[in-house]
Structure formats: structure tokens, C-alpha cells
Structure 1
Amino acid sequence: MADIAPDDERIEELNTLQAIYPEFTFEISNPLTAHIELLVAPVKPLPVTFEPEQQVERLPYLPPLHLDITLPPDYPANAPPSVKLTTTPSWLPEHVLDRLVEEVRAKWKEYGGMAVLFNYIDYLQEAAAMAFGLTEVSLPTSEKSDLLEYSSRMKREIFDKESFDCGICLEPKKGSACYRLERCSHVFCRACLQDFYNNCIREGDVDNVKCLAPGCGKTGNPAVDRRKKDRLLSPKELLQIPLSLDTVRRFANIKRKKKIEADSSIAFCPRSWCQGAMRTQKYPKITDVSQMDESDCEDDEPAELPVSTPAPEGPERRPAGVNGMDRLAVCEDCNLAFCRVCLASWHGDFVRCEPRNESQLTEEDQASLNFISKNTSPCPDCAVPCQKSFGCNHMICFQCKTHFCYLCAAWLNPDHPYQHFNDPKIKACFQRLFEMVEGDQPEGRFGGRRGAELEADFWEQEALRIQMEEEPEDAH
């Protein structure tokens, strides 16, 4: 190698390539031999089928293409460069590697015996971006874990080196301080996501544990977007942000609890010290949140209750659709077997159920029911009790986002919610949009179920008053 002149054009070409590609390296024993690894990141993730299980994974990053270059003495005038292409593990088919190697000779001929290495490397990079023309690759399952681990590591390393403007605090942040949401790819800094999601979960507002980008998941069609339910982040993704395990566990349990409570087919344990839900395959108990990677979507809705029949609250709630042969329920917490209809201990399929006595309610339960009936208006869709603290009587349910009237609990058209208050035919609510604007007033004039209960309570108190006034005369 001592015969190589310092001004040899082969050495000059390799030095130029090293200046362009910092990862370009020379072999110490032979300065005319060089190596470079080319990133393989297809524009569209390449489907890889792992056999024999036929599991398909779409990988955004694949193991790099190793390019070994050796320049012969008569290069470039009379001979092309000698190149060798490999991947570790060997995921590229041999016929693809052979085609790529042949391309260097074709380019050398095309350039008429001139230096072609830069053009050839550029060609390989463009081919890598197009997955070398492949639409899919089949590999043995034994290589699955290595490829998945590599793809995940490269995705993280490249993301960490970039810079992003956080969509919440609007400050530029390095990728290492940010998190890209899996489904929509919106990027926010981890600190902002942790603050927001921790606060939502602490307050029980799990329906806002979603992407915080305005308009994310929206189609632009108001009629369609109103029917779509925002997709929540999965517990597994929350752990990656990361949120603490206890916080994510609380998120998963609250989400499950809300689904159960909104489902009229679910009965609850009659034991006052338990009150657990019945066992059901529809809502399995949570065991390991780190494996829960599903997200709520518009098709994942709990069973809806009829608009005209709000769900009763408290221990007296009755499951819908229960026939005589499916009354047996088992509490998922204390394992009590009980009847879903009368809530008594299980008495067999052929025993007639007796209505549950009101006296079974504790004083605390009865007081809660009395307060709810007198001081809240139920959502006409999910029957959740709602109490207004201030504002007009056009309400939007905190849980299901249904628009309704606070005075009569009637459903309102989201496109024209105020038409209800401007219709003279609806006398109970006509021109009463801003009544009780400073907050709920139990003595207010209500319609619907709440109005009927308040009226019944008024006449009951009035009857008691009259009775008290008449008692002295009867005694005399």
C-alpha cells in the first residue's frame, strides 16, 4: 500500500465521501477499502410476515444495509468498484442484493469510466426509502424479536434527535423530552402530557385522556363528528409517556366502572359492605394494565338506555332484559350468588321473586337518593345526574356530551339547541334560557321527572302542614 500516491484520485474520492457521510470508515490495513451502513427507513412501513405463525408486523425501520467497497488499481478508468452488500440478520432476499450489486457496474458504464461511488450510494439510499421495490418480506419467527427491537430503538433514537414545538406549552423541545402519540402521531412534551393526564385521572375526568391536538380525529363534517366518540389513550401507552402505575390503574378502573354503571344489564351485589358488580365477560376484571393496549373508539359504546326511561339511581337499579332463566348473578368481589331481579341470595330458577323492600335501603342511601332527585336533572341519554353551578339552561352532559335542557331534561338538537327555549308550544321552558343563571335553585320551576318529584314533595309537605293545623281542633 506504500505505492499509493497521496494525490491518487481513488483516495480523493474516498476522502470526499467521508466528508459527506461521517459514518463512512476506512480499513486501517487498506486505505482503498471502506465501509458504510445505510439506514433502511421505507416511506411506508414494510409488512414482514413471520412464519410459520403467519404474524404480520409493519416495520418502519429495518436492519441497515452494509456496503463494503474495494477500489481496484485500474478504477475508475478501466474497471468498476468492487462492492459487497449484506444485512444482519439477512432479511433482504438474495436476488435483491444481487440486483443492487449489479447496479454499480451499470452506473460505471453509464458514467463512462468516471467516479461513481457518490451516485451509487445515493441510489442505494433512494432504493432503501422505497423498500428496494419489495411489497412484503417473509422471515422465520426466530428473527421477530430482534427486528422489532431494532425498529423500536431506531424510531426512538431518530425521534430524540429532532426538535418539536409542543402543542400545549408552544415551546420548542428536543425529541428526548417529547412523546409522539401512537395513533395520530401528534407530538407534545412529556411534562405537559403528564400534568394534564394526571390531573384528569385524579379528578375522574377519564374521557379527556385523549390527544390534545385541536380537531384530532375529526372529519370536518359536524354531523359525523358529533356521533364519533373521542378515542382515549390506552393504559399501555400511558405507561410509556410515562404515568405512574397507580395512576394508570386508577384510569383503567374508572373507565371500566363508568361503562358498567352505564350498562342497564349489569346488577350489583346487594351486600351493603360490598356493592360489587356481577361477573360478566363483557367487562372482565382488570389484572395487568401494562398489557391493556386497546383504546376506546366510536364503536365501543356502552349499552344505551331509552331516552324516555331514565335509569334509576342507587341500589334499586334494575337490569334490563332479564328473563326468568338468567337471573343468577355472582358478585365479582365477594362471590355472593344472588338474583338479578330481587337482589336476594340465589333462590333457584323456579322460585318466584318478591319485590325488594324499600326498608333495605340504608339511611345514608335514602338520603343520597333524596338529594339527587331534588337537586339534579338527569341526562336524557345516559341518565347521569347533573347539577348546574352557573350559566344558562342549555346543558352538555359531562359523560356522554348529550345536549339537553336543564329545566325539563329534554334532548336538544346540537345544531339548534336554543330553539327549544324559543318555542311557545313548550310552555315549561319558553324564554327561560337564562333562569337560575347564578346556579341551581331547588325551588325553581322544573319540568320532567324532577318537576314531578318536586311537585309531589310540595303537596306532601302541604298535606302535613294542613294536618298539623287541624290537629288542635280535633284534640279540642
Structure 2
Amino acid sequence: MSTADSEIQGDELDALTSILDESTFEINKKSTETENIYGTLVIEVILPDEFYIEYYSNQHRRVQYLPPIFLRFTLPNDYPSISSPSFQLECIWMNNKQLQILSENLKNIWLDNSNEPILFLWYTLLSAQALEWLNITTTLDLTLSFPLTITKSLQPQLTSAQVAATIHNYECEKKLILLSRAIITCPICLMDVGGNDSFLCYSCSGTACKSCIKSYLETIITAGQVKSITCPINSSCNIELTPAQIASSVDKQIFHRYDRLLFQLSIDS
């Protein structure tokens, strides 16, 4: 490795480390002068304000976040003076053809910017333009990329519904992380509370303090209203709360009552 390439690589990686956090940028430490540097960039795609996924025919759901693209790279010793980084893209909601399209775009960007550090440019353009490169505007149609049912194959493949569930789980985790860093004003008691003391509706993204949600749920469960408990924050949100959400919001004794009454309703029906 030339001294110039070594210095440029070091400066580029130092810059990325200062800009991106550990959850977004991971790099190995070289143990010898001849060893190649390798690492991973975790890239979240910027979505339009109104964006949906389709996982069955005419079954849509609005989403605010998609699981990230993983760009796993290796820097050759003669990068950037001669060679491009070698790389591989991975993404749970893309098929191989879509990943290939993105890869070709990254290769073309390198050709237009050869002999220059490229990793941050790849990172920013994938985040901002991945959907455009894939001709996706407002809807990610998973049915075009994944089967509706499990098929017999040498390589196991997720169904569109399974990918949609993965997207949903990721989005819930993302919203909780963002909420934990925020201060919200409870729309019920009008008190300011920290995100960790807040309840989040995964569907409408409404938030309220845990104390108000606890009081509301315990009141209706004590009164015997346990069927189809929907979001108490937004009257237009008709998504039912999950048993896990209710269990985390009320005392154990109240949840046991909820569970028992719900079981009795299922028997009676």
C-alpha cells in the first residue's frame, strides 16, 4: 500500500467515524500493514411522507421506516488511487435483482469519482436515491419480489407477509428508540414526560404518558370491557392494542382479569 493511499483511507475512515455512530458504521482494526480494511455501513433509506407497503393483493399499510441496507465493504490496498472498494449489499425487503440495480449504480458512481474517497458518497446517495433507482415512488410492492406462500426451494425464501412483519417489527423498534430520546406532552393530562415514561401506539404513532394509559385501561378492564380495546389516544385509530401492550401498561392483577375475561368471551362465542 502506498503512503498516500494509506493516509487517504485513514482520513476517510476517521471522518466516517466522527459523522456516523457505532450503529451505523462498523470497521475492523488492521493487525498488519498488508491486511485489507473491511467494515459495514448501515444505511436507512429516506422515505416520502406518504409511503406504503403492499404485502397481499390490495393489502396496504403505511410505514415511516424501512429496515436498513447493509453495505459490507473491503478496501483494497490500492484504494482509492487505482481500485474501487469491493462490496456486497444486503437488505431484507429487496430481491437479488433490486440489489444488483443498486450495485450497478454504486459502480457507476465510482467510475465518475474514481481516485477519490467514495464511501460517504455511496452512503448518502443510497439513503437519498435508492427508491428512485428502483423506480419505487409511494408503494413498495412486496408481492412482486416475494412469494405469497412458502414454496419448495433449495434456498428458503421469506413470503411477502413475513417481510412485511419484519418491516413492522423494525418500525416499532425504531419508533421506541426515537421516543426514548424525546419529551412529549401527554394529550390527556397535558403534562410533559420523558419518552421512557410514554406509551406509543405503533399504528398512528400517537403518544401519551404511561400513567394516563394505565388509568384508562384499568378502568375499562375493571368494568369488564376487554373485547377490541383500541388506541385510546387517537379516536380515528381503530387498531386494537395487543395483549403484550396491555400487559406492559397495567398491574399484573388487572391483566389477569383481562386475560380471564377475554378467554371467557372466546368460550362463550
> Which range, TM-score by smaller chain?
0.5 to 0.7
For residue 186 of structure 1, the aligned residue among 191, 206, 220 is 206
Distance in 1 of aligned mates of 2:247 and 2:133: 29
The 2-side partners of 1:34 and 1:235 are apart by: 40
Amino acid across the alignment from 1:136 = D
Alignment-derived partner of residue 153 in structure 2: none
Partner of 2:94: 92
**1-structure distance, mates of 2:164, 2:201:** 22
State the secondary structure of the residue aligned to 1:133: coil
Equivalent runs, 1:332-347 vs 2, <5 Å? none
Once the two structures are superposed, the pairs formed by residues 55-70 of structure 1 within 5 Å of their partners are: 58=61, 60=63, 61-70=65-74
Is the Cα–Cα contact under 8 Å of residues 230 and 240 in structure 2 kept in the other structure? no
Change (3 A) 1:241 1:165: farther
Task: Work out the CA distance in 2 between the residues paired with 1:115 and 1:10.
Answer: 8
Three-state SS of the structure 2 residue aligned to 1:287 is helix
Does the C-alpha gap of structure 1 residues 162 and 45 become closer, same or farther in structure 2, counting only changes over 3 Å?
A: farther
Deviation at 1:156, TM superposition (A): 2.4
What corresponds to 1:259 in structure 2? none
Matching residue within 48, 57, 70 for 2:55: 48
Q: Contact 1:104 / 1:120 at 8 angstroms: preserved in 2?
A: yes
Report Cα offsets for 1:325-346 as digits up to 9, x if no partner: xxxxxxx79xxxxxxxxxxxxx
Instruction: Please say if residues 29 and 37 of structure 2, whose CA atoms lie closer than 8 Å, have aligned partners that are also in contact.
Output: no
Q: After TM superposition, give the deviation of residue 58 of structure 1 in Å.
A: 4.1
1:13 to partner: Cα distance: 0.9
Matched with 1:211 is 232
Task: Write the letter of the residue equivalent to 1:71.
Answer: L
1:148 Cα offset (Å) = 1.8
Residue 9 of structure 1 aligns with which residue? 8
Greater gyration radius = 1
Q: Please, which of 64, 76, 96 is the counterpart of residue 72 of structure 1?
A: 76
Corresponding residue of 2:187: 167
Query: 248, 253, 257: which is aligned to 2:258?
Result: 248
SS of residue in 1 equivalent to 2:266: coil
| Number of the residue aligned with 1:198 | 218
Work out the percentage of aligned pairs sharing the same amino acid: 20
TM-score between the two structures when normalised by the length of structure 1: 0.41
Which residue does the alignment assign to 2:21? 22
Distance in 1 of aligned mates of 2:181 and 2:74: 34
Distance in 1 between residues matched to 2:132 and 2:195, nearest whole Å: 26
Which residue in the other structure is 1:234 paired with? 240
Q: Within 5 A, what are the aligned runs for 1:127-166?
A: 127=129, 132-134=134-136, 135-138=140-143, 139-140=146-147, 141-142=149-150, 143=158, 144-145=161-162, 148-149=165-166, 151-160=168-177, 161-163=180-182, 164-166=184-186
1:287 aligns with 2:266: yes
Mapped to 1, the partners of 2:203 and 2:38 lie a distance apart of 44
Contact 1:86 1:97 (8 Å CA) reproduced:
yes
Amino acid in structure 2 at the alignment position of 1:26: I
The two structures have a TM-score, normalised by structure 2, of 0.66
The 2-side partners of 1:33 and 1:111 are apart by 20
Answer yes or no: is the 8 Å Cα contact 1:11–1:32 preserved in 2.
Answer: no
3-state SS of paired residue (1:286): helix
Amino acid at match of 2:103: V
Alpha-carbon distance, 1:65 to partner: 1.8
Distance 2:224 2:66 in 1: 41
Kindly indicate whether the alpha-carbon contact (under 8 Å) linking 2:5 and 2:78 is maintained by their aligned counterparts in 1. no
Match among 113, 125, 128 for residue 127 of structure 2:
125
What is the alpha-carbon distance in structure 1 between the residues aligned to residue 255 and residue 133 of structure 2? 39
* Contact preservation (8 Å) 1:40, 1:128: yes
Query: Residue 74 of structure 1: CA displacement?
Result: 4.2
Superposed, which structure 2 residues align to 1:318-337 within 5 Å? none
1:235 and 1:251 in contact (8 A); partners too: no
Structure 1 pair 13–26 and aligned structure 2 pair: CA distance change class (3 A): same
Residue in 2 aligned with 1:221?
Answer: none
Using the alignment, how far apart are the partners of 1:20 and 1:42 within structure 2?
21
Task: Name the one with the larger helix percent.
Answer: 2
* Counterpart position of 1:341: none
What's the CA shift for 1:202? 3.5
Q: Which amino acid aligns with 1:110?
A: D
In structure 2, do the counterparts of structure 1 residues 122 and 233 end up closer, same or farther at CA, with 3 Å as the change threshold?
Answer: closer
Structure 2's unaligned 5+ residue stretches are 151-157
How far apart, in 1, do the equivalents of 2:105 and 2:238 lie?
49
- Distance in 2, matches of 1:240 and 1:45, equals 29
Mapped to 2, the partners of 1:152 and 1:130 lie a distance apart of 25
Which structure has the higher relative contact order (CA within 8 Å, separation 6+)?
2
